[in-house]
């Protein structure tokens, strides 16, 4: 049978199963990786605009 869960119900169920073991913790490596990934990700999308402007043909 199919059941419909809301995100709140799913979160509450996971929290009950895990107990108090879940901690929010980021170390320096996590923060650096998040920052570098964000910069590279934005760069990919920003760079495609000028490249498409100068390199594309009439189909774009």
The model's pLDDT over 37-52, given as tens digits with 9 standing for 90+, comes to 999 999 888 888 888 8
50 in a domain, yes or no? yes
Model pTM greater than 0.85?
no
Number of domains comprising the chain: 1
- 43 lies in some domain: yes
SS3 annotation, the chain: CCCCCCHHHHHHHHHHHHHHHCCCCCCHHHHHHHHHHHHHHHHHHHHHHHHHHHHCCCCC
The reported pLDDT for the residue numbered 17 is 83
User: Does a structural domain hold residue 44?
Assistant: yes
Give 6-60 pLDDT, tens digit per residue: 889 888 888 888 776 667 788 999 999 999 999 999 988 888 888 888 888 887 6
Is pLDDT of 1 > 60? no
Is residue 16 included in any domain, yes or no?
A: no
Residue 32 belongs to a domain: yes
């Amino acid at each position: 049978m199919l059941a419909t869960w809301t995100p709140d119900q799913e979160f509450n169920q996971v929290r009950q199963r895990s107990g108090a073991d879940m901690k929010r913790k980021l170390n320096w490596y996590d923060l650096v990786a998040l920052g570098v990934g964000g910069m590279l990700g934005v760069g990919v999308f920003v760079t495609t605009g000028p490249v498409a402007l100068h390199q594309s043909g009439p189909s774009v």
